[in-house]
Structure formats: structure tokens, C-alpha cells
Structure 1
Amino acid sequence: MAKVTAYRQELKGRILKESIKEFKKNGIKQVKMDDIANNLSISKRTLYEIYPNKEELLLEGLRAEHEERNLEFMRFMAMGNRSVIDVFVQFFKMEMRSFATVSPLYFSDIHKFPNAVSYLSELHEESQSKSKEFLQKGVEEGFFREDVNFEIVSRMGQATMQHVMQIQLYKQYSLQHIFRNVILLLIRGICTQRGVKVVDEMLEKL
């Protein structure tokens, strides 16, 4: 019984890994459950026993990715005292790495799955609170301007990326290129002269 349970857990992990890889590469709608079963050489029945539908599979994948990102960030923070610029550069590196391997269809398809949208909305609310703490710390450290309304800046960033997806700008430029230009414009715009200097120096090393 223990062997069966261990096998199921291992198989569940393989299914999740393969599915997210395919979703990101080709878009969620374009990947069929049959494709996933065939890629892993398992029966459709076995796949549906573990994940009854694509949305549940997607949701589990989003949760796993969020947990993995959190662990990576925690390891980074545990390596020593980190300034807000250190944190920003690490976030920038992680996002650029993520955008390098994902199809724009993945992001547009996610919004067709209500449970996934609900989960991402929850994460967004959590990140908003953390962002405020991060930005305030940046002011205290002398890297961010204190005369900036960060609520407006945050909403501008969200609106910009939403507009990028709506007008399908990713057909003209890569998501990596778009993200780099948007995030650098926003972060440098809220920085003090000292902050701009440090950000530019650190990004030159990437």
C-alpha cells in the first residue's frame, strides 16, 4: 500500500511538471488532457483519477509555482541583510527567467478559468500588502522618493501590463523585452538619485 501511495505521489508530481511545461509553452487551451497522458505514457483514466479536469490541474500548478517561488525568495533573503534594491533585482531576475520560457497564450488563457482567476486575485491582494511594506522600506533606506504616491504607481504598473495583453503587444516584442522596459521605467521613476545609481549599477552586472 505504501508503495502504491508513493508511486501515486511521484506520478502526480510528474503530471504537474509536464502539464505546466506544456501550458507555458503552447497555451492552456491548446494542450489537451490526452496530450498530457500520451507524453507521460499513462492512460487517460489514470490521469483523470488524479486530476479530474484541466482547471484543477492548472490550479494545482499555480499553487506549486507560488510555493516554489516563495521558497526561492526565502533562501535568497536568508543569505544576509538585503536592501530593497537587492530584493528588486532578485525579483527582476526571477521574472525575466520566467518570461523567457512562457507563451503569451498562457497568460491570456488563464483568464478563461474562473478558479484560477480567483486564486490569482487572492495572491494579488497579498502582494499588494507586501509591496506597500517594500516601498516604504525603500523610502526609509533612501532609495525611493518620499513624495511619490505608490498606490498610483502600483495601479499604473498593473494597467500597463493589462493593456499590453489587450493590444497583444507581445506579437511585436517578447514578453521579456516588454517587462524589462515597463518595470525599469516604473522603478527608476520612483527612485532617488542614489537609488537610480544603485539600480543601474546592479542591473549592469546581470
Structure 2
Amino acid sequence: MHKINIQTEYREQLKDRILNLAMHEFYVNGIKRVKMDDIAKKLVISKRTLYEIYNKKEDLLLEGIKMSECLCDNHMEEFQKEKAPDVMDILVEFYKVQMEKVRTVNPLFFAELHKYSKIVNYLSKRHELRRNKSHMFFKRGIRDGYFRDDIDYSLVERFSNATMEYVMDNKLYETYSMQHILYNVMFLFMRGFCTDKGLAIMDMKIKRLK
């Protein structure tokens, strides 16, 4: 029994090592350029061992995306529990998290995600769940006087998503950095739905981040 527990623990540790290294490689090099053989070599394990744990690259990528999404959600939840923030604090923290994410990730990673159906399906479901939360968030912002009450937030969200799709489809990241793109896209929409009260606070908080 003790031997079985050791083997199980080793397997779980190896699974985490594979996942962490693979996501690092995907982030740095893009998804297409990273081969399963490369991952096995870097970890000094056999290809057979790797394929026993992750049958194909898409399965490995999906686990990595799930991990990344959960970490992001957990961070925002902990931020709200510990800081007891208002909606402007939450908005700026979300902006900060997104900016940090694109700062360290090769744009090819984002551009290539849509080629994997499992990833697209997972993210679509994830976005649907977040959409419900975002509606409550915007209602709170309107109630507190930070967000305008004459904006169709569902439409704004669709515009925002379509803008980022345009960025990736037209490879604007080859001309501009992803941070520069995200800064301009997020600011365009965030400033658009804020009241004068919300704008004053957002500008102050963003200035502090710099």
C-alpha cells in the first residue's frame, strides 16, 4: 500500500511538472512551435510516459488553460474577500491582472488558441458563466454611481470581444505590443461606460499603477 501511495504521489508531481513546463513553453514560444517531444526532452522523461499522462497536446493545453482560468478567478475572489473593494477597485484590479498576463505571453499563444476545438468550447462556457457575473457587477456600478445607466452593457461586451478578435485575426500584435493594444482597447470601453465620478476614481487608480 505504501509503495502504491508513493507511485501515485510521484505521478501527480510529474503531472504538475509537465503542466507547468508545457504552459511556460506555450506562453514563450506559442502553441504550434512546442512539440510533445520537446516537453519530454526538457523534463528528461520518455515520450511514452508523457503520452500516458497526456494523450495529446490539446489535452495538455486544455488542462493548462483550466489552471490559468481558475488562478485568475481565485485571485479576483480573494481580492474581493480581503480588500472589501468597491466596483472601481475590482475594475482596476482586473485591468492590472490582464495587463500582467499579456506582458509575459507571446501573442502567438492567443492567436493559436482558436485552432483547438476543446479550448474554444471550454472558454465559451467559461465566458458565459462570467457574463452572468458581469451583469451583476455592472448593475452594482450603476447603483453606486460609477457606471452610466444609459449603456447597453451586453452590447458593449460584444463590441469588446469583437475588437479583440479583429486584433488577433489581423495580427495587429505584429505592429503593436499586446500591452499597448490591451491598454487602448480596455481604456476605450472602461472610460466609455464610467460616469464622471467613476472616471475620476479610475484615472487616479490607474495612475498609481504606473
Shared fold per TM-score greater than 0.5: yes
Kindly tell me the number of residue pairs found equivalent between the two proteins: 206
Q: How does 1:1-206 map to 2 (within 5 A)?
A: 1-206=4-209
Q: Which structure 1 residue ranges, 5 or more long, are not aligned?
A: none
The SS at the match of 1:79 is helix
Give the Cα–Cα distance (whole angstroms) in 2 for the partners of residues 63 and 156 of structure 1. 25
User: What is the alpha-carbon distance in structure 2 between the residues aligned to residue 154 and residue 204 of structure 1?
Assistant: 25
Letter in 1 for 2:89: D
Structure 2: runs of 5 or more not aligned: none
1:95 Cα deviation from its structure 2 partner: 0.5
| Deviation digits for residues 61-97 of structure 1 (CA, Å, limit 9, x no counterpart) | 1111111112211211111321111111110111111
Task: Please give the alpha-carbon distance, in whole angstroms, between the structure 1 residues aligned to 2:85 and 2:26.
Answer: 34
- Superimposed CA distance per residue, residues 162-194 of structure 1 (whole angstroms, 9 cap, x where no aligned partner): 111111110011111100111011011111100
TM-score (norm: length of structure 1): 0.98
Root-mean-square deviation (Å): 0.8
State the secondary structure of the residue aligned to 1:142.
Answer: coil
Normalised by the length of structure 2, the TM-score is 0.96
Percent identical among aligned pairs is 44
